[in-house]
Amino acid sequence: MTVPPLPPSEPLPPPIPPRIAGPLPGGATTAEILAACRQGHPGAADALFRQYFSKLVELARRRLSRRLARRIDAEDVVLSAYRSFFIRLRDDSGFPETETADDLWALLVTITRRKIAKQSRRHWAGRRSVAREISDGASLEPVASAAPAEAAAVLEEEVEQLVASLRPTDREVLIRSLQGLTSAEIAAELNCAERTVRRARHRIDDAISSRRAAESLPGAPVRGISDPDLNPTHRQTDLLLQQMAGEGSFSKVYRALDRTNGETVAVKFLKKDQWSDPRAVAALVREHEILRRLDHPGIVGVRGWGITRAAAPFLVLQWIDGTRLAEWNRNNHLLRETLSIARQIAEALAAAHSLGITHGDLSPANVLRTRNGHVLLTDFGFAQQRDRPHHPGTAGGTPGFLAPELLADPHHPAAPSADVYGFGAILHFLLTGQSPAGRGHATPSSAELRVAFANAHDELGPAIAQQLPELLSCCLALHPEERPVNLLAALRPFDSA
């Protein structure tokens, strides 16, 4: 196999330990498993994911510096690496020949390391003083107030993208220029000639000018609105951004004040590098249309939408004062609370499924919980509608919580059974603190679940507790047709808990 070369300072790791090498589960060889993955076999993708996940997470944690590890989660890096791996495998886009477990391990390590390198460049650990990083779930910090909040938010992203596009030397010059250093002082710090600094500054000026020229072009109209009579409900000036509340791969969410009625709302903007991507724009527009159809106390409501001055759409959503389930600590809660959360999620899913809507990306990060225990589903960016054609490239999700059939084929339309798997994966997380693949091969008989089941026996009694393993096994079934069709009925034995 020919593995893409790593940087000179990153030699390939030693061969994987004997306990990982050799045939994968079921006696199939690596080549056979990969071939099955290409053909869309969900069990093959699940086997590959479970086989290497925990080892790759350990490797990623070793590669992240202490400072960078505070900003980047090793599991997120590996999940992103797997996502790229399965997409390349499925599309067969320049996929290298992979015959043995050693070959596959080396390839996965290469992809993971490149993900780490990309994240390192983006976060620029310890040196990026020009742009504040606010991670999802972290304590909220105010947006800069020296300029209008909307401008500050866009400026922050522009600086990030500008920095990422520059040569390493030009980045160093830009940072020091923003700190007020002269060319002579920069040259002294970088141990180079002043002429080198001046040339770097010229290149930075050219990069800024190119960006301004591109942004001066007329914005494209927002496409994908199926209702020709649907007009924007908000202008950008109607909203006073107050704090960043979260950030994903495609969007940022801010807490804001709706000046038209005084209501606190959440505003979801596409990131600037997604403005020109028709798939990202269509997904945001589709999310608005889906949320308009849903009216349920367990689903975040939509207040409207609008178009920025740059012709990019944004959503105005109900503001929820709470936390994501991703921050759940099972040691601080009773099992009755866990079952209450599960029941509320099932009720919201039943409402969506009754309208032919599949969420498509159920994970702890997409479930909000208020201080009084009320649970709401959010982020319908990957949702699909039964009565609308599936758009290739709109599928997505969170590996570790994604159904095996979607993991095997990222372009496969999500059915309600995929949400049932996501529900089971969230329940697994609430019981153990990790996804079903969180330690490489966790199953309903894992040590963590045996502890959870024992606690259930003590807290809920044997009659109820014995139903819990069966519920989890059914929801996490490998084949969609083996999962419960009616989640609320499956939860009925726990009504007295």
Report, as residue numbers or ranges, the catalytic residues: 361
What is the C-alpha separation between 284 and 288, in angstroms, rounded? Answer: 6
d(CA 400, CA 397): 9
Distance, in Å, from the CA atom of 289 to the CA atom of 296, rounded to the nearest integer, reads: 15
Helix 447-460 × helix 335-354 angle, to 10°: 100
Question: Given the structure tokens 């225990």, which residue do they identify?
Answer: 373
The answer to whether residues 165 and 186 touch, using CB atoms and an 8 Å cutoff, is no
DSSP conformation letters of 344-391: HHHHHHHHHHHTTEE-----GGGEEEETTS-EEE---TT-EETTSPPP
Give the burial class of 115: count Cβ atoms within 10 A of its Cβ; 0-12 exposed, 13-18 middle, 19 or more buried: buried
Which amino acid does the sequence have at 478? Answer: L
CB 155 within 8 A of CB 148: no
Q: Taking CA 326 as the corner, what is the angle to CA 352 and CA 289, rounded to the nearest 5 degrees?
A: 30
What would the two tokens of residue 46 be? 């699940």
Closest CA to 5 of 171, 117, 167: 117
CA distance 246 to 463: 41
- Say how many residues make up the chain: 497
Name, in order, each residue with C-beta under 8 angstroms of 16's C-beta and a sequence gap of 6 or more. Answer: 55, 101, 102, 105
Q: Is the dihedral of CA 430, 431, 432, 435 positive or negative?
A: negative
Exposed e or buried b per residue across 467-481, where buried means at least 16 C-beta atoms within 10 angstroms of its C-beta: bbbebbebbbbeebe
Query: How far is the C-alpha of 169 from the C-alpha of 31, rounded, in Å?
Result: 43
DSSP summary character for residue 330: G
DSSP 433: S
